[in-house]
A and B are shown apart, each in its own frame.
Chain A
Amino acid sequence: MADLSINFAGIRAPNPFWLASAPPTNTGAQVIRAFEHGWGGAVWKTIGPPVLNISNRYGGLSIGGQRLLAINNVELISDRPIEVNLREIAEVKRLFPDRALIVSAMVDADPLAWREIVMRIEDTGADGIELNYGCPQGMSERGMGAAVGQVPEMCELNTYWVTSVTKLLVIVKLTPNVTHIVDPAHAALKGGAHALSLINTINSVMSVDLDTLQITPNIGGRGTHGGYAGPAVKPIALNMLSELMTDAEVLRSGVPICGMGGIVTWRDAAEFLLLGAGAVQVCTAAMHYGYRIVEDMIDGLSNWMDDKGFASVGDVVGRSLPQLSTFGQLDLSYQAVARIDPDKCIQCNLCYVACNDTAHQCIDLTTPGGLRVDPGFDPRVNGKAVADTRPMPVVREADCVGCALCANVCPVDHCITMVSVPSGRESVTWDELSARQPAVTQQWGAMEAYREDVGIEIH
Chain B
Amino acid sequence: MTAFEHPSAPDLSAPTQSSSGSTWQELLPPMSAHEAAVEANRCLYCYDAPCLQACPTHIDIPTFIRKIGTGNLRGSARTILEANFLGGTCARVCPVQELCEGACVLGKDHTPIQIGRLQRYAVDHVQERGVQLFQPGTPTGKSVAVVGSGPAGISAAAELAKAGHAVTLLEKREQAGGLSTYGIVSLREPIEIAQREVQALIDLGVDVQTGRELTGKADLDILLHDHDAVFLALGLGAVPAMGVPGEEHLIDGLDFIEQAKLHPETLLYSLKTVVIGAGNTAIDAATMARRAGAEVLVVYRRTEAEMTAYRHEYEFALHEGIAFTFLTQPVEVVSHGGKVTGLKCVKMALGAPDASGRPRPQPVPGSEFILDCDQVISAIGQEKPDLAKLLGLELEGGYIKVNHDLQTSLPRVWAGGDGVRLRGSASTVMAVQDGKIAAAGIHAALGAGEVGGGKWEVGTPQTS
Contact = CB atoms under 8 A, between A and B. Distances in A.
B174 to A, nearest CB: 34
B46 interface: yes
A349 B54 contact: no
Contact of A384 (B45, B98, B433, B460): B98
Interface in B72-121: 97-103, 105-106, 108-109
Given A382-B56, A384-B102, A387-B105, A349 B464 contact: no
B54 A384 contact: yes
A65 interface: yes
A350 B463 CA distance: 13
A369 interface: no
Given A65-B37, A382-B54, A384-B54, A346 B99 contact: no
B53 interface: yes
Interface string A345-375: 0111110110000000000010000000011
A346 B54 contact: no
Given A384-B54, A386-B54, A376 B461 contact: yes
Contacts of B41: 64-65
A376, A383, A384, A385, most chain B CB atoms within 10 A: A384
Interface residues of A, number: 25
A376 B464 contact: yes
A390 interface: yes
Given A64-B69, A349-B49, 12 more contacts: A65-B38, A346-B106, A346-B109, A347-B46, A347-B50, A375-B47, A376-B48, A377-B52, A377-B53, A382-B433, A383-B54, A390-B50
A382 B53 CA distance: 6
Nearest to B459: A379
Given A353-B47, A379-B58, A347 B105 contact: yes
A382 B55 contact: yes
B102 A387 contact: yes
Contacts of A346: 105-106, 108-109
A252 interface: no
Nearest to A379: B459
A379 B461 contact: yes
B461 A384 contact: no
Nearest to B97: A384
A386 B103 contact: yes
Contacts of A365: 48
A459 interface: no
Interface residues on B, range: 35 or more
Given A348-B46, A349-B48, A383 B98 contact: yes
B44 A350 contact: yes
Contact of A352 (B47, B50, B53, B108): B47
A34 B463 CA distance: 52
24 contacts: A65-B41, A346-B105, A347-B46, A349-B46, A350-B44, A352-B47, A352-B48, A353-B48, A374-B464, A375-B47, A375-B464, A376-B48, A376-B461, A379-B58, A379-B459, A379-B461, A381-B53, A382-B56, A382-B433, A383-B56, A384-B103, A385-B103, A386-B50, A387-B50
Contacts of B69: 64-65
Nearest to A357: B47
A69 B433 CA distance: 43
Contact of B45 (A65, A347, A350, A385): A350
Contacts of A65: 37-38, 41, 69
Interface in B48-68: 48-50, 52-56, 58
Contact of A387 (B37, B54, B58, B97): B54
B395 interface: no
B53 A375 contact: no
Interface of A: 64-65, 346-350, 352-353, 365, 374-377, 379-387, 390, 411
B224 interface: no
B339 to A, nearest CB: 45
Contacts, number: 86
B460 A379 contact: yes
B145 to A, nearest CB: 26
B211 to A, nearest CB: 35
A362 to B, nearest CB: 16
B47 A350 contact: yes
A24 B203 CA distance: 58
B15 to A, nearest CB: 34
A333 to B, nearest CB: 33
B458 interface: yes
Nearest to B108: A346
Contacts of B108: 346
Taking each of B48, B103, B109, B458, which has the highest tally of chain A beta carbons within 10 Å of its own beta carbon?
B48
Contacts of A350: 44-47
B463 A375 contact: yes
Contact of B47 (A349, A374, A384, A386): A349
B417 to A, nearest CB: 16
Contacts of B105: 346-348, 387
A390 B104 CA distance: 12
A383 B99 CA distance: 5
Contacts of A386: 50, 53-54, 103
Contacts of A387: 50, 54, 102-103, 105
Nearest to A412: B109
A394 to B, nearest CB: 15
A106 to B, nearest CB: 40
Nearest first, the 9 A-B pairs at minimum CB distance are A379-B459, A384-B102, A353-B47, A387-B103, A375-B48, A349-B47, A376-B464, A346-B105, A64-B41
Interface in B114-149: none
Contacts of A381: 53
A396 B98 CA distance: 34
Nearest to A351: B47
A113 to B, nearest CB: 50
Contacts of B46: 347-350
Nearest to A210: B71
B422 to A, nearest CB: 15
